[in-house]
Chains A and B, each alone.
Chain A
Amino acid sequence: MAQQTNRTVPPREAPDRRPPGNGPDQAADTGRGRGKESVGAGSGPGIGRGDGRPRLSGPAWPIVRRLLRYMRPHAGVLSGVILAALATTAIELAPPWIIRLSVDRYILGGQTGRIWWAAGGLLILSLVQGAVDLFRLYLTAQTGHGIVFELRNAVFEHLTRLSFSFYDRARTGDLMARVTADTDVLSDFFGRAAVIVLTNMLTLIGILVVLLVWDWRLGLLYVCFLPLIVHGQWVYARRVRPAMARVRRALSGLTSVLQESMAGILVVKLFGREPYQRERVDGQSAAYREANIGAARITSLWMPYANVIMGVGAALVLWAGGAGVIAGFVTLGTLIGFTTYIQMLLRPIRQTGMMLNVVMRSVAAAERVFEVLDTQPDVQDAPDAYPLPAVEGHVRYQGVTFAYDGGSQGAEALRSVDLDAAPGELVALVGPSGAGKTTLVHLLPRFYDAQEGQITIDGHDIRRVTVGSLRDAIGIALQSVFLFDASIGENIAYGNPRATQDQIEWAARTTQIHDFIRSLPLGYGTPVGERGVRLSGGQKQRIALARVLLTDPRILILDEPTSSVDAETERRMQQALAEVRAGRTTFVIAHRLWTVRQADQILVLRDGRIVERARGDAGRSAHETLLEQSGLYRELHDLQFQAEALGAKPPAAGAAIPAPAPGTRRRGR
């Protein structure tokens, strides 16, 4: 009959051990959402396609073996734990034995004086067992968390080594899930599952042995039921897993619809699309509801099943054992002891089922974690790499060809690019978006490695020097600005932790952000980010630029450094930057052509090629030379001028540029 657990609880979709449901977590959830899979799912390694659902693409055993390898250094502690487990299993088997003894010998046998001794013995044994359990459970958990700590750090460290191409494909939410949630699942594996499975097996075997020794007929009766229970657990596990997966999928569908409508609430309101959003949420929420009910149905049916089978067993034992007592070949104590043992059986069986589930989940999680660990960084130090010595800043590209997905024909982002930048020169890169300007400058600090050609700095092939020393020599202001959740001052000093306050302020002044920072109540200590001050795009851009200037690089790369800055500030920044630039080789990418007029050298890119180039000389600037060529540079220049000047003329007389007909490719122009 039903034992201690007479309730079923609807299965919960989310593991209990998760961070509180705020920003990062939700991001993780939606990031892993099935609905978005198509978006970021590139080719290449599976990072980015992940959806958090237990998924076994290969046999589980090699992964389990790899997991067990992590336990090897802790073999000493673990063998102690196993010994302790053996001890507690033995103790656990004692109470029914004591009860049987008390019933047969002391209570019915008349040795009443020993009854309290037996009861006291029970209690003492349980105290001993409790102490050993405390010790072994803690040690196991400690080992498990320790392993996970090391593993998590290793994964993160590996992430710092993976190159840009990895981050182009990976999705933040997915990686977050792998580093935190998935490794956290593994702490269950290391900290509980392995040991619990083992001790439960021992308990089961122990009970069976005792039962068979006591009375082999009753014992055998009992053995018959074990396969049924195991079968029930198996059926349950097999059915509930897909049901739970459905619940999780439905939840992530629901969260992403909710998340998006909240993030885009302005658009929802502006177009009056509340009814549509309500309908979508209603649909997703109903799907989630149905998935939950479906899972609850399976759980309600199969969770009590083991109880029921145990109950049937108990009924049969009562009947057969009772018959044995009547016939005189079974003692009363044996019968009572039997029923007590039966009650003890349920927990190990249950737990083993649960733990097998933990193991399966761990395998899925480990697979995702190992996938990260096994991703080879594209850009690594050569075995004989040497640190780049102090350089003048003479940069040369020779026949550089590069494609993002590893070099399929026709998809090159850069084709046979040659360039030569003398120390201290200002090189401007110009061209329509998608022409390859950013790609070109990203090759210099080895964010990517070119497939063909060679890049040198003062004659040092950048592949022969260490990546760290190379990047120390180069300061790059990336196109997309990122600030850390730290104070403004810490953000500026990020690249140069030894910078003094004076230096930090110098950098901020140069990028025209110092006055703004001083106007804040906390000044340079003002935190940035969700809890901090809300900065405009231009302000962030200037802080990020200050960060680069503070590293005092020989080579400076500015990728649209002023795109979000208003014209007036931009002008002041340019004056200040002109001073900073002195003596440094500088590459600048800018859409506004008037910002490149003073460049020593201008390279015009289209479709990954340099199609025009000019170098200023004493008589004429590069800008002037290119304007006279009437090429792409001239075209871009006129377009921009016309766009600004359009209003001056009556807007009739047709458009300044013909609208592209459907089907024409923009870049083909």
Chain B
Amino acid sequence: MTIRGGFMGRLQGGGREEAYRLRDLDRQALPMLWRYLRVFKSRLLVSLLAMLVVTATTLAAPYLTKVALDTYIAAGDMRGLTLISLLYLALNGVYWLAIYWQGYLSAWVGQHVVHAIRRDLYAHVLRQSMAFHEEERVGQIMSRLTHDVNALADLASSGALNLINDVFSLLGIVAIMALLDLRLALVTLASIPVVMISMGLLGKQMRRTYREVQQALAEVNTGVEQGVTGMRVVQSLSRESFTMEQFQDLSLRNLRANLRAALLFAAVFPTMTITNTLGLALVLGYGGMRVAGGAITIGVLLAFIGYVHRFFGPLRELSLVYNAFQSAAASLDRIADYMGREPRVPEPAQPRRPEGGFEGGIAFQNVSFGYGPERVLHNLDLSVHVGETVALVGSTGAGKSTVAKLLARLYDVDEGVVRIDGVDVRQIASLDLRRLITLVPQDVFLFADTIRENIRYGDPHASNEEVEAAAWRAQAHGPIVGLPRGYDTAVGELGATLSGGQRQLIAFARALLADPRVLVLDEATANVDAYTEALIQQAMDEIRRDRTTLVIAHRFSTLRRADRIVVLEDGRIVGQGSHEELIASNPTYQRLYRRQWADARAAPSQPR
């Protein structure tokens, strides 16, 4: 059982926020949090009331003991003693009821807030353009969606309640103590600074050390990951002992960090005992003297002993509360940071669509674009007729993939305009655009699901028959049914069970199932075996039928099938036409042809 949020949790939790200052918190962040909490106002209120009852019942116990001792036991009043004992018993029932509702309700509210924030944050992240997703690492986004959102919920529900609880408990105890005996109360309270200072110092140290431990453990984790994923290489090069040494280094660093932390942890428990006892000793010594002197009754002394016990818990928590809030605030800030980012590819306010629907004519007009300050495309003009197949060729970095991404509006142009059937893509509703255009990227991504579901991703409403029909047309059916479990074969981690060619065919099937008016295809450069290669070429014929197709071509056969070839160089179009025209007149194309295809084309025909 690991319970965080309690004392030890505050010592350990969220070590990486150490550098964060509460005052750095964005002013917009708190209102945002309140918007989520506001919905559950009444539940929060009940929870708060329940918590006050818990505090009250907890504080009443020593006082009842005092009354029992001084009023009834001293007077020998058995009836009164029975009554007060029954009251004590009843308080326990109230306590149980109240603490149950407090715990349950605050968790309920906290979890609902987390869920709502996570849902909205995720939707917001999905709306962000590809530029965002390429900049932010997956791990980082994940951390915000899980760790940060959870940390925030702790603050919003139980964290805040605990803080209020601690404050009330302390004030209550101080008040009762002062009422019982002001002088004894003042002497007892003298131990407060000792607790606050020692715990505060220790807490700070521990957080630092705990962060070191976490870092060291993360390093070990990375070491294992490297070792395990690279084990085949390690073994094939007989470098086991070297890897082992590297790992032992990491492991040793982790051990050292752990030992430093252990020393501090070992100090926490004794410090708690000693400070507790300090309070108890003050009560016993000074209180005892006052009882002996007749200034207070023995019942008051007993009550003080009871309160001293209850006093130190909240005090310790409060001495660490800054830390706890610091880490939650850092989480809140990171969430607000994401929430505050406007999507760089915004949804049009008034989407347009041509009368009679889209047909798929493409026009790039004077388009310039760069991912950063550096331009990738310069004043590009390109139009593709409905139903035409255009192949884009060019060396690496010529801007071929960028053209495809702009067409699919994964980015917005810096200058100029991209139109489909005369409509600026920035004015097309994103759902319309997705139905209209499908891009098959070079690196095929398949979900960790069955092949069937991966194809169905192109159209969630498709029946099994339609899925198989699409696979058939994409030439993927044969290879799929050749697998041991056919369409129900699970695509393994990173699709390890399928070859590159098979993955490409499945991606084709997925795109065919979506049945877009415009298809943009980034051909895989990876080598596939002769048989799959033939299948891919067959699939190409089917894919481009009845639609506008833009292919970033790496295969010579694709070039031969295209209605038109467009040659890109350094973000500019340097020629277009058929293979024969270009090979005759275009120097860039000639060079490309010589480098990429001439050798391959020449080779197999040689023995003939």
Contact = CB atoms under 8 A, between A and B. Distances in A.
Nearest to B579: A647
A322 B237 contact: no
Contact of B133 (A2, A133, A265): A265
Interface string B578-600: 00000000000000000111011
Contacts of A316: 85
Given A5-B313, A119-B284, A137-B266, A644 B600 contact: yes
A663 B481 contact: yes
A319 interface: yes
Contacts of B104: 293, 296-297, 300-301
Contact of B310 (A4, A292, A548): A4
Interface in B161-188: 162, 165, 169
B12 interface: yes
Contact of A445 (B1, B221, B236, B313): B236
Interface in B229-249: 229-240, 242-244, 247-248
B576 interface: no
Nearest to A569: B595
A115 B289 contact: yes
A160 B243 contact: yes
A292 B107 contact: yes
Contact of A267 (B231, B306, B457): B457
Nearest to A146: B255
Interface string A260-298: 111111111111111011100110011011001100110
B54 interface: yes
Which applies to chain B's interface (DSSP): helix, strand, loop or mixed? Answer: helix
A245 interface: no
Interface in A627-669: 627, 636-637, 639-648, 651, 655-657, 659-667, 669
Contacts of A153: 244, 247-248, 251
A659 B475 contact: yes
B561 A647 contact: yes
A126 B277 contact: yes
Given A19-B214, A159-B228, A637 B604 contact: yes
Interface string A152-186: 11001101111110010011100110011000100
Nearest to A571: B599
B119 A260 contact: no
Given A122-B284, A259-B142, A644-B600, A293 B82 contact: no
B282 interface: yes
Contacts of B6: 5, 7, 9
A16 B4 CA distance: 7
Contact of B269 (A137, A300, A641): A137
A134 B140 CA distance: 39
Nearest to A316: B85
A265 B443 CA distance: 13
Interface stretch (B29-37, B357-365, B372-380, B429-437): B429-437
A160 B604 contact: no
A68 interface: no
B541 interface: yes
A640 B514 contact: no
Contact of B228 (A16, A167, A659): A167
A326 B76 contact: yes
A22 interface: yes
Contacts, number: 608
Contact of A129 (B270, B281, B310, B525): B270
B59 to A, nearest CB: 9
A11 interface: yes
B410 to A, nearest CB: 7
Interface string A230-267: 00000001001000100000010011101111111111
A272 B409 CA distance: 12
A273 B346 CA distance: 17
B288 A40 contact: no
Interface centre among A314, A322, A656, A657 (most CB of B within 10 A): A322
Interface stretch (B18-26, B108-116, B414-422): B108-116
Interface in A292-312: 292-293, 296-297, 299-301, 303-305, 307-308, 311-312
Contacts of A6: 54-55, 58, 95, 99, 165, 169
A300 B100 contact: yes
Contacts of A116: 285, 289
Interface string B60-83: 110011001100110010100110
Contact of B227 (A103, A156, A260, A323): A156
Interface in B126-158: 126-127, 130, 133, 137-143, 145-147, 157-158
A259 B220 CA distance: 22
A643 B273 contact: no
B139 A119 contact: no
Contacts of A216: none
Interface stretch (B201-209, B348-356, B528-536, B566-574): B528-536
Contacts of A170: 228
B481 A665 contact: yes
Nearest to B217: A19
A643 B1 CA distance: 62
Contact of A567 (B237, B472, B600): B600
Contact of B92 (A240, A265, A315): A315
Contacts of A19: 214-215, 217-218, 221
A149 B256 CA distance: 10
A666 B218 contact: no
A171 B497 CA distance: 13
A293 B108 contact: yes
29 contacts: A1-B58, A1-B95, A20-B214, A95-B277, A118-B285, A123-B274, A129-B270, A153-B251, A157-B244, A159-B231, A162-B231, A255-B146, A278-B126, A285-B115, A289-B112, A304-B100, A322-B85, A335-B69, A336-B305, A339-B65, A339-B302, A340-B305, A343-B309, A471-B236, A471-B237, A480-B232, A566-B595, A647-B557, A656-B538
Given A305-B96, A591-B528, 14 more contacts: A19-B215, A20-B215, A36-B448, A106-B292, A122-B281, A123-B274, A125-B277, A130-B271, A293-B104, A315-B92, A335-B73, A567-B595, A571-B599, A645-B557
- Interface pairs A-B: 5 shortest CB-CB: A647-B560, A272-B434, A300-B103, A119-B285, A296-B107
